[in-house]
Structure 1
Amino acid sequence: MASEEELFASVDALLAAEPELPLPAERARLREAAGITQARLAKALDTTPQSVKNWENGRSEPRPPRLGAYQRLLNGWAAKYPAHGTPAAQAPTPAPTPAVTEQSQVPRTFTPAASDAPTTTSGEASAAPAPATVAPEQPARPATSRRPAVRKATAPPADPRFPHGPLAVLDGDGCAYGIDGIVLDCPATTVVELVEWTLRESGLGAAKLNRYGKDSDPLIVLSAAAAVRLGLPERLEGHEQRRSLRLPEDHLVVKQVVKAKWQLTQRGFGPWARIYRKAQGRERQCVQLAILSWDALDERSWPGVAEMEPADIARVLGVYAQRVITPRGSTAVSGLELMTAMRPPTKPERDGESGNWVSGHNAGSLGTEPMDPAPPEATAEHPVVVQSGWSGGFLNEEAYQWVRDVDTLSDQECLLPFAVGLDLNTAFLAAAARLTVGLSAPDHFHGPQFNPKIPGSWLVDLSHIELDPRLPSPFTPDGTRPTGPAWYQTHTVAYAQELGHNVQPLEAYLRRETGAYLDPWHDRLKTAYVDTLADLGVTKDLTDAEFLAAMEQHKHADPAMAAVLAAVKATVKGGVGKLRERPQGRSYRQGERWPALERPTWRPDIRAAVISKARINMHRKLNNMAKMTGLFPLAVLSDCVVYPSPGASPLDFLPYAASGKPQPGGFRLGPTPGLAKLEGVQEMLWAIDLMEKGLNPARHIKGGDAVLDDGE
């Protein structure tokens, strides 16, 4: 039984608790009954009219010291202006409200479009949404401030440590817009205050994606107005590439950050700034900032997002964060970070001698130390190449850029009316599925016997293999026949065997330890891609005709989700590209190491494996199509192929069985990675004209005649 002293302590704690306020609608009623405007009240409480508006419509809650003053004012008004049926001498008892979080941040839903949002006018009380995240039955946020969204409700965060989701978009009035329509009141007026508010009060962050990984640091996205409010320039000026621009070290904001004992990463204070202190125990102290007006969101990866309203930006980035990863820079950077997050390099394990927990290698990962490639896997400027004087050639595993020789076109093909382009959905992602790659350092072998199960680089002569000239060679990116011995990745050599040809490697660089490193990366991105397409009305259960119709309209169904889809696709391509990031900057000298080489994920051999498999997958389909239909492509560009067609639809030339089902082995329409969609349709004469000029119809099939002057 508790002692009297313990009971008194409990009662004192209740007395010291923050006062509960009336419901938002009652706050507005009391202010209007007193004849006080929101602006006048804001001035009295030393805050902004927008904050008062947020308190009265339930988007945010006041925080100390304003909370106590506001409570006192409302109590006084309640005694003077009681609600209908309440005695004047007694203030109305406020209805119970959910407990205030320890950060004093009670999120409120924000669901109506800007044009539909309730406003407070004289004699009219504001609506009072419940202080909780959006429930499935509530109306969805608009895709933009002008177009309503059609979407599934996003599931609430599963981790109680991060009740408000992974990120927020901060506007100039101090409103921080999070996922599911919540809005938090952020009082920060400096970057240092913003960092401390984010870590201590915001409730932002995301749980780790793997049991051995790390939690994602909270992301704060700054609008132009928010940047200015925090003392940052609205734009970064300079003659360098935008992505390389940084605040100078003597800028006031940088000085404030350093003075407060915070640190910036080596990339400094740029469009994506990471501000941190060394971790204390297991708690990370790090906040990521993204500044919209500094071009943090590339239009190619995030189409239209930077111009959206803050709540819509939060929705786009929030869905991406929940389905992929909290953005950490460009989509390419995020794609690479996702690989590490899904396959962390270390895990805790017991030390055999002391019995203490130590950091051990996580099987199937790339480890913690960078690894030099074999010379043929490197680039010409790499130290391994320059210091060894290597002159034995390099892997040339790149995506297709091939145009068929016009002289191989038959009269029947030339008389077909249309050229139809097919695009494979996230072809690199499809190639990453169940892809075995090397995990250890390469070993050098002379005269090895080829083994298609061992990932590596093989020096072999494939020039004797003769194939149909109406198809590109599977062994070179430009589709031309090899002229002698060259270095190839395992998948390319294995395909030569699959076609029935003998291969006798001269040399090889092979890796003894192997694994499907990219599998969890592939699985998460595939799910994100398919789920986002489904949000846009493109689902797996559609017929091919329905699929084509849905794809024609999907970008207009919900611009916000269309932007998420574009970001997912850019994450795939960018992440694969980052595996062989080249040196940047005019000051670089050949043979010097560059920063990317210091990370374990600089693995050009893994990039080569993905691209080799994707190109071989494309050629296998081209070959099967020729066998099944007698059709040959006009051009191929990476994951896009153009065919001559009797009609303006892929349905006019794709192979189907008598049952109506697609024939296996060829191109198939559908919404999953590796299946095809319509890229574009043009007249056959248009395609032939481009081919005669040496241009690639697959590059321009989407754009029409306007591209004829665009040289390649």
Structure 2
Amino acid sequence: MASEEELFASVDALLEAEPLLPPPAERARLREMAGITQARLATALKTTTQSVKNWENGRSEPKEPRLSAYQRLLTGWAARFPRHGPPPPAPVPTTPLPTVQQPPIPEAPAAPEATEAAPGAPVKTPTVQVTRGQEQERPARPAATSRRPAAKRAAKPVGTDPRFPHGPLAVLDGDGSAYGVDGIVLDCPATTIPDLVEWTLRQSGLGAAKLNRYGKDSDPLIVLTAAAAVKLGLPERLEGHEQRRSLRLPVDHPVVKQVAKAKWQLTQRGFGPWARIYRKAQGRERQCVQLAILSWDALDERSWPGVTDMDPADIARVLGVYATRVITPRGSTAVSGLELMTALRPPTKAVQDPQSGNWVSGYNPGSLGTEPVDPAPPEATAEHPVVVNSGWSGGFLDEEAYQWVRDVDHLTGQEAALPWAVGLDLNTAFLAAAARLTVGLSAPDHFHHPQFNPKIPGSWLVDLSHIELDPRLPSPFTPTGERPTGPAWYQTHTVAYAQELGYNVQPIEAYLRRETGAYLDPWHDRLKTAYVDTLADLGVTRDLSDAEFLAAMERHKQVDPAMAAVLAAIKATVKGGVGKLRERPQGKSYKQGETWPALQRPTWRPDIRAAVISKARVNMHRKLNNMVKLTGLYPLAVLSDCVVYPSSGQSPLDFLPYAESGKPQPGGFRLGPTPGLAKLEGVQPMMWAVDLMEQGLNPARHIKGGSHDAVLDEGE
């Protein structure tokens, strides 16, 4: 008789087979019912219109990764536009789902999408609730509550996955209302943390499907308001700790004891602002719930501006949009950025053992695998065991973002006479740098006097001090913009740019990786789409003229504060995720040479972080150089992705290069809403900028009227 493992392996093999698509004619019907043109579908799937035509007339079939994406789209359309009559009724769940509160539906002809209900969701009929092990008949809650005005629209369907009819998360208030996405409100009877975990896993219908066929579903997230935390036995706030990330309940706290008594476990981080409560998986069913406690500063104001002060329904909307477009939060935006990399590039997949024929877990090509790899000594940090144990003294990579101010001695009188200093900010510059970025996937190999190859990712010891560039521009080889003074370690992109500028490079030494791949491509694609879609929700779309774009950006935060918060979180996810690739040790008790928890992750990869920053800095310098050729303008200062130019007017339109046709000149800075394009950062009088420069301060840091953070978060 086959074992349980063998049966699951066989089922996995079926699941991992290529997805089946409907017949070509049905594909065309579904697209037309959705009102989508072949050209628009081609753009979404990043292919050609002719390819879509071929798929719909049966001449060819899509290949991965478009195959899975196309099948997912068609499945969603099929649920919305069945061929004959209404869709079949959803199956009755074996575990009763909670009551769903909804505002009254206005008496008007319903649009087709308004008639659809979330799969398996008992919207109007009474349901059986399980409260602390005791079953009782419980009627549906009133359609409107004092906390949610009846004038709000009816809840729309959350998703098509029948396992998670109520979306990825809910915000629990003190009255037992759990606010989900799309206006759903669930009735949560839990009065203890173990009750809440059981309700979430057995009855809530919360969770999210995996982002990759080889990945794992996202665990449901419950966000606790201060009132909910107190009701469940938690303190409203935790005091006595110097750092927010150190907050956690003591091991003898009654709630921690309750969790242990109910045979649930906490991770090594304990019960803090982001607490994970789990049991060992049963078969293939994960048993894990993520909690976020708002009054314990789970949502950092820098990443989630204004969200903690919103009402629960709006918090659920913000986090729900983020979860749908990015990933269900599992901690800070930095943590979520790193988790997204792994979710999109899972380390393993099912492979067939050639000897036994059994399906086993194997390496997923293109991923970082399951085991961490030691960095090359110059890629590590000074406290890393590789450095301390080897006695390394050969220097380190210094691939960081720009922090450069032009020497006032190189400021011309003509420039100083201009009335304004105008700051341009590149949209998610690090995300733009991650596009089509080849990085190392394996451990580094050591070479002496290698020939430089711009296609091989790694670290090169090269002397670039002989290269003399215009002092009115920052050096592309150092984050300070100063000319190198001798041999130093550089990432491949920095050395390749020296070669691009026409200089001969002769590496002395190198640490290179044989296995390479575009590891960050799906991460880039998902975050780019999230960024562009969220800006569009705020009225900033790709079809705007440059003047219209500047006007839309000036007011976009006032259009919808909730979506503006989502946009801020997406940007923080990019910067924090890249920074997290080189997380430093934390805590006063740490001693050099000791390992720290982050080193146990395959995603502790300072070389990948260096590759992203190197490419971003090179991209910035290339644009600065092209601006000189196109306009004769030199920057006053650069800070990370922000550059300040002298200008005759208060708008970028006064100095950016345009052709006679009115179109932007290629190569320089261009305005627009996509990653890598620019927006206005701020405007100040020219004398204000000169005064800061004379003090050695950076105008780019302050031109917006506040501080401009150029540091990649390597903590949390």
TM category, shorter: 0.7 to 0.9
What letter is aligned with 2:397? L
- Are 1:134 and 2:156 counterparts? yes
Q: Secondary structure at 1:678's aligned position in 2?
A: strand
What is the CA distance between 1:667 and its match in structure 2?
Answer: 0.1
Q: Distance in 2 between matches of 1:537 and 1:464?
A: 49
Which of 648, 658, 661 pairs up with 2:660?
A: 658
Q: Is the 8 A contact 1:219 1:288 kept in 2?
A: yes
What is the CA distance between 1:134 and its match in structure 2?
Answer: 2.0
Structural RMSD (CA): 2.6
The equivalent of 2:548 in structure 1 is 546
What letter is aligned with 1:312? D
The equivalent of 2:313 in structure 1 is 311
- Are 1:117 and 2:150 counterparts? yes
Which of 633, 636, 641 pairs up with 2:635?
A: 633
Residues 432-511 of structure 1 mapped to structure 2, 5 A cutoff: 432-511=434-513
Q: Distance in 1 between matches of 2:615 and 2:707?
A: 33
Which of 357, 361, 364 pairs up with 1:362?
A: 364
Which of 512, 515, 524 pairs up with 2:514?
A: 512
Pair 350,688 (structure 1): closer, same or farther in 2 beyond 3 Å? same
Pair 477,567 (structure 1): closer, same or farther in 2 beyond 3 Å? same
Q: Is the 8 A contact 2:102 2:183 kept in 1?
A: no
Pair 403,217 (structure 1): closer, same or farther in 2 beyond 3 Å? same
**1:30-87 residue CA offsets vs partner (Å, 9 max, x unmatched):** xxxxxxxxxxxxxxxxxxxxxxxxxxx979967368997667xxxxxxxxxxxxxxxx
Pair 69,375 (structure 1): closer, same or farther in 2 beyond 3 Å? closer
What letter is aligned with 2:318? V
Q: Distance in 2 between matches of 1:109 and 1:441?
A: 59
The equivalent of 1:63 in structure 2 is 129
Q: Is the 8 A contact 1:332 1:570 kept in 2?
A: yes
What is the CA distance between 1:109 and its match in structure 2?
Answer: 7.9
Q: Secondary structure at 2:489's aligned position in 1?
A: strand
Q: Is the 8 A contact 1:199 1:285 kept in 2?
A: yes
The equivalent of 1:198 in structure 2 is 200
What letter is aligned with 1:461? D
Q: Secondary structure at 1:334's aligned position in 2?
A: helix
What is the CA distance between 1:706 and its match in structure 2?
Answer: 14
What letter is aligned with 1:457? S
Q: Is the 8 A contact 2:465 2:485 kept in 1?
A: yes
Which of 238, 259, 264 pairs up with 1:262?
A: 264
**1:208-235 residue CA offsets vs partner (Å, 9 max, x unmatched):** 0000000000000000000000000000
Which of 566, 569, 584 pairs up with 1:567?
A: 569
The equivalent of 2:346 in structure 1 is 344
Pair 17,201 (structure 1): closer, same or farther in 2 beyond 3 Å? closer
- Are 1:578 and 2:542 counterparts? no
Q: Secondary structure at 2:339's aligned position in 1?
A: helix
What letter is aligned with 1:453? K
Q: Is the 8 A contact 1:58 1:108 kept in 2?
A: no
**1:488-538 residue CA offsets vs partner (Å, 9 max, x unmatched):** 000000000000000000000000000000000000000000000000000
Q: Is the 8 A contact 1:348 1:358 kept in 2?
A: yes
Pair 456,706 (structure 1): closer, same or farther in 2 beyond 3 Å? closer
What letter is aligned with 2:246? S
Q: Distance in 1 between matches of 2:206 and 2:141?
A: 12
Q: Is the 8 A contact 1:461 1:485 kept in 2?
A: yes
Q: Is the 8 A contact 1:60 1:185 kept in 2?
A: no
Q: Distance in 2 between matches of 1:179 and 1:699?
A: 37
The equivalent of 2:255 in structure 1 is 253
The equivalent of 2:81 in structure 1 is none
The equivalent of 2:19 in structure 1 is none
**1:577-617 residue CA offsets vs partner (Å, 9 max, x unmatched):** 00000000001000000000000000000000000000000
Q: Distance in 2 between matches of 1:567 and 1:388?
A: 40
* Greater radius of gyration (CA): 1
What letter is aligned with 2:161? D
Q: Distance in 1 between matches of 2:278 and 2:640?
A: 40
The equivalent of 1:328 in structure 2 is 330
Which of 679, 695, 702 pairs up with 1:700?
A: 702
What is the CA distance between 1:24 and its match in structure 2?
Answer: 9.7
What is the CA distance between 1:240 and its match in structure 2?
Answer: 2.2
The equivalent of 2:560 in structure 1 is 558
Q: Is the 8 A contact 2:442 2:514 kept in 1?
A: yes
List runs of 5+ in structure 1 lacking aligned partners.
Answer: 1-13, 27-56, 72-105, 119-126, 136-155, 708-712
What is the CA distance between 1:206 and its match in structure 2?
Answer: 0.2
**1:67-116 residue CA offsets vs partner (Å, 9 max, x unmatched):** 97667xxxxxxxxxxxxxxxxxxxxxxxxxxxxxxxxxx89987x99684
- Are 1:184 and 2:186 counterparts? yes
**1:548-594 residue CA offsets vs partner (Å, 9 max, x unmatched):** 00000000000000000000000000000000000000010000000
Pair 227,536 (structure 1): closer, same or farther in 2 beyond 3 Å? same
What letter is aligned with 1:366? L
Pair 635,658 (structure 1): closer, same or farther in 2 beyond 3 Å? same
Q: Is the 8 A contact 2:671 2:679 kept in 1?
A: yes
Pair 68,543 (structure 1): closer, same or farther in 2 beyond 3 Å? same
- Are 1:426 and 2:428 counterparts? yes
Residues 76-95 of structure 1 mapped to structure 2, 5 A cutoff: none
Q: Secondary structure at 2:129's aligned position in 1?
A: coil
Q: Secondary structure at 1:305's aligned position in 2?
A: coil
What letter is aligned with 1:492? T
Residues 35-54 of structure 1 mapped to structure 2, 5 A cutoff: none
What letter is aligned with 1:672? T
What is the CA distance between 1:158 and its match in structure 2?
Answer: 2.5
The equivalent of 2:613 in structure 1 is 611
- Are 1:599 and 2:632 counterparts? no
Q: Is the 8 A contact 1:59 1:109 kept in 2?
A: no
Residues 366-445 of structure 1 mapped to structure 2, 5 A cutoff: 366-445=368-447
The equivalent of 1:36 in structure 2 is none
Q: Secondary structure at 1:163's aligned position in 2?
A: coil
The equivalent of 1:4 in structure 2 is none
Q: Secondary structure at 1:306's aligned position in 2?
A: coil
What is the CA distance between 1:159 and its match in structure 2?
Answer: 1.1
Q: Is the 8 A contact 1:414 1:684 kept in 2?
A: yes
What is the CA distance between 1:262 and its match in structure 2?
Answer: 0.4
Name segments (4+ residues, structure 1) moved above 3 Å. 23-26, 57-71, 106-110, 112-118, 704-707
Q: Distance in 1 between matches of 2:326 and 2:386?
A: 35
What is the CA distance between 1:117 and its match in structure 2?
Answer: 3.3
Q: Is the 8 A contact 1:190 1:231 kept in 2?
A: yes
Q: Distance in 2 between matches of 1:67 and 1:227?
A: 25
Q: Distance in 2 between matches of 1:407 and 1:488?
A: 29
Pair 427,592 (structure 1): closer, same or farther in 2 beyond 3 Å? same
What is the CA distance between 1:243 and its match in structure 2?
Answer: 1.3
Pair 675,378 (structure 1): closer, same or farther in 2 beyond 3 Å? same
Q: Distance in 2 between matches of 1:217 and 1:192?
A: 16
What TM-score comes out, normalization by structure 2 length? 0.80
Q: Is the 8 A contact 1:24 1:58 kept in 2?
A: no
The equivalent of 1:691 in structure 2 is 693
What letter is aligned with 1:638? S
Q: Distance in 2 between matches of 1:595 and 1:304?
A: 31
Q: Distance in 1 between matches of 2:329 and 2:149?
A: 31
Which of 614, 619, 622 pairs up with 1:620?
A: 622
Q: Distance in 2 between matches of 1:17 and 1:414?
A: 73
The equivalent of 2:85 in structure 1 is none
Q: Secondary structure at 1:307's aligned position in 2?
A: coil
Q: Distance in 2 between matches of 1:411 and 1:533?
A: 40
What TM-score comes out, normalization by structure 1 length? 0.80
Q: Is the 8 A contact 1:436 1:515 kept in 2?
A: yes
Q: Distance in 2 between matches of 1:24 and 1:304?
A: 26
Q: Distance in 2 between matches of 1:701 and 1:605?
A: 32
**1:333-380 residue CA offsets vs partner (Å, 9 max, x unmatched):** 000000000000000011111111100000000000010000000000
What letter is aligned with 1:697? P
Q: Distance in 2 between matches of 1:681 and 1:113?
A: 45
What letter is aligned with 2:266? L
The equivalent of 2:232 in structure 1 is 230
